[in-house]
Amino acid sequence: MNTEMIIPRINAWILTVIAAVAPFLIVLNPAEKFSLDSFWGGFLLSIMILVTILFLADALASKIKYKPVWIIFILLCPTIAQILYLSLRRKIMTTVNQ
């Protein structure tokens, strides 16, 4: 059974950290550079959406336990869900008897 993600694990962690920091940058808007009407704010929002789509695609394509729960969790609490999903992914993979 393939337990690898659709993107390399290290890249998934990097994107997850960026997506976790991005909301704080957008809300706090240091130096007035990260508002949603600026380039960087829009770029960070795009990264957050892309990472959520990647995690949803992986959850849909993988054989994991409690798939509907993970999909809802990723949609409702993306930052927390992405960190937990990466941490627990090997444990939640279902085994297929052949």
Read off the pLDDT of residues 53-81 as tens digits, 9 standing for 90 and up. 999 999 999 888 999 999 999 999 999 99
pLDDT tier for residue 8 given thresholds of 50, 70 and 90? confident
What local confidence, expressed as pLDDT, does residue 97 receive? 44
Structure tokens at 43: 């770029």
Domain boundaries along the sequence of the chain: 9-90
Nearest to 54 by CA among 84, 68, 74, 73: 74
What local confidence, expressed as pLDDT, does residue 95 receive? 60
Is the pLDDT higher at 49 or at 29? 49
- Does the pLDDT of residue 37 top 90, yes or no? no
Query: What's the DSSP call for residue 36?
Result: T
Q: How far apart are CA 46 and CA 13, in angstroms?
A: 17
- Does the pLDDT of residue 86 top 80, yes or no? yes
DSSP-derived secondary structure for 56-71: HHHHHHS-BTTHHHHH
The pLDDT tens digits of the residues spanning 15-35 come to: 999 999 999 988 998 888 888
Q: Residue 28 corresponds to which amino acid?
A: L
Q: What are phi and psi of 64, to 5 degrees?
A: -115, 155
CA 28 from centroid of its chain's CA atoms: 21
Query: What's the DSSP call for residue 37?
Result: T
